[in-house]
Structure 1
């Protein structure tokens, strides 16, 4: 079974079985699309035979294209980097100064992801990566087997960097789409969506709802994960053919330690219960 190459805040590793439980039994044979890709925990678990991935973070998408098309060069360059504080800030500066060749950009992103604080991807208002050096005992920057396996899976996949609703152009009747959008915050201080310069507000969630309705009308199956907040429930609970299920997730990242632990989230889907 494949695993994500990058660490990613908001990854769905702990929610995978709950999501798959909603899928039809023949899901391994279906085309799969993921418009908010991030670290791709569900994607790599599923190992789809065909489909598409997408993210608005263009440097992240460049990483996955390099991972798919040039894994050996990615391994070669990233293996030269050392886990040292001075090296980290030197490469972070180079990453920010750019522009870089695609493979070097991807290699530095991999390095920063494995050695930066908490595996965050965060940029400031200028679009500069500003995550500080992370303290680890012995971080594994280049996992050759994981990279090679991920590359082989991606060979069959179209990789895009567009707005999420572009999936409606690709998805066909019977396909499966998984949406993992930046969650509508439970509170004003719980927003961990600053991995790209573009925000994602309530209007975007309304547009996402419209996209789900469009896919439903085309016969495309979807699952969306989101926060358990009243505005999200109000958007979806009254739509014919949709259902909203509450699941518990363990939240390990929060600036307030007392707010870590189990929280309610929702899975929104048009999958028939008989699936």
Structure 2
């Protein structure tokens, strides 16, 4: 099978390297289920979304959500106006690439200021969102407490700002996808008779300096993780399947039972994924390394045991 559609942006903690583990953990009858609805409340870069919609044609409908309005606006623009977006990105690319590095930095900063005005139409906002993602430091998306994008210039020699084939392929696939912007719990309104949820929330950091979850000005802390755990139990009570991925805090501290307690009614499968960060110093308080390292992740496949909701404890 040739997969043409794939993420149109770079996204920290993307799940491309977890696809095999996710596929092996899906319900055995997943492919044979009829009229399946796929729901992803934290869509992010969409690696799992684009893969699963192409791999499993029995998914007739999909619902995606993210709290980041710039991200969901980009998804909507690709779905509804791909050719216009390509024209905008091509124009930016033709202006940007011939410039010297110094002039490219100036151009980047000017576009970042314009993007942060929060007054652009959806087409321009999406084009600048993709441009900044392709040219900023390490492809990060971070905002400050005011919700303003604050990642610096990335010094790439020849970034691919306009990826026309990917945008067109993604647009075709997104035609059966409903795109929401808001809290993950809002997706409950869109459940059908047969739904499968995949949750990929901002990961619980393994240390005070390892968090990459500032994708929005709202913090996703332990209380939010617990709220998500309770939502997963609600999904289970309704009879729907789900899978969830997160950091494995036990890999850092064997005595940290945060997720084992929170999801003690479900099977927990621990898997390894190699993650590479292309940098050699600290940035925004986050230690970065040019080497590949193994991040111990966990998946929580669906297994109905009980309908009670335990009182999870906050990790100290």
Which bracket does the TM-score occupy, shorter chain normalised?
A: over 0.9
Say which of 190, 198, 204 aligns to 1:170: 190
Whole-Å Cα distance in 2 between the matches of residues 45 and 51 of structure 1? 13
1:227 offset after TM fit, Å? 1.2
Whole-Å Cα distance in 2 between the matches of residues 142 and 256 of structure 1? 28
Q: Does 1:138 align with 2:158?
A: yes
Whole-Å Cα distance in 2 between the matches of residues 78 and 214 of structure 1? 42
Find the residue that maps to 2:287 and give its secondary structure.
coil
Provide Cα deviations, 1:213-265, integer angstroms capped at 9, x if missing partner. 1111111110000111221121112x1xx200000111323615399511211
1:171 offset after TM fit, Å? 2.2
Contact 1:172 1:218 in 2 (8 A): no
Match of 1:97? 117
Contact 1:5 1:147 in 2 (8 A): yes
Match of 2:49? 43
Aligned residue pairs total 269
Unpaired stretches in structure 2, ≥5 consecutive residues: 54-58, 98-103, 250-256, 278-285, 305-316
Provide Cα deviations, 1:72-115, integer angstroms capped at 9, x if missing partner. 11111111112422211111111012300110000000100111
Whole-Å Cα distance in 2 between the matches of residues 71 and 38 of structure 1? 19
Q: Relative to structure 1, is the Cα distance of residues 100 and 256 closer, same or farther in structure 2, using a 3 angstrom cutoff?
A: closer
Find the residue that maps to 2:268 and give its secondary structure.
strand
Say which of 31, 39, 48 aligns to 1:33: 39
Matches for 1:46-61 after TM superposition, within 5 Å? 46-47=52-53, 48-61=59-72
Q: CA RMSD in A?
A: 1.7
Match of 1:4? 7
Whole-Å Cα distance in 1 between the matches of residues 66 and 118 of structure 2? 20
Match of 1:199? 219
Say which of 275, 297, 303 aligns to 1:265: 297
Matches for 1:145-156 after TM superposition, within 5 Å? 145-156=165-176
1:182 offset after TM fit, Å? 0.6
**Structure 1 outlier segments of 4+, above 4 Å:** none
Mean CA deviation greater in 29-38 or 63-72: 29-38
Match of 2:273? 249
Find the residue that maps to 1:248 and give its secondary structure.
strand
Contact 2:268 2:300 in 1 (8 A): yes
Unpaired stretches in structure 1, ≥5 consecutive residues: none
Match of 2:19? 16
Whole-Å Cα distance in 1 between the matches of residues 293 and 247 of structure 2? 15
Contact 2:37 2:61 in 1 (8 A): yes
Say which of 208, 216, 233 aligns to 1:188: 208
Whole-Å Cα distance in 2 between the matches of residues 119 and 218 of structure 1? 38
Match of 2:84? 73
Find the residue that maps to 1:172 and give its secondary structure.
coil
Whole-Å Cα distance in 1 between the matches of residues 303 and 172 of structure 2? 29
Find the residue that maps to 1:257 and give its secondary structure.
coil
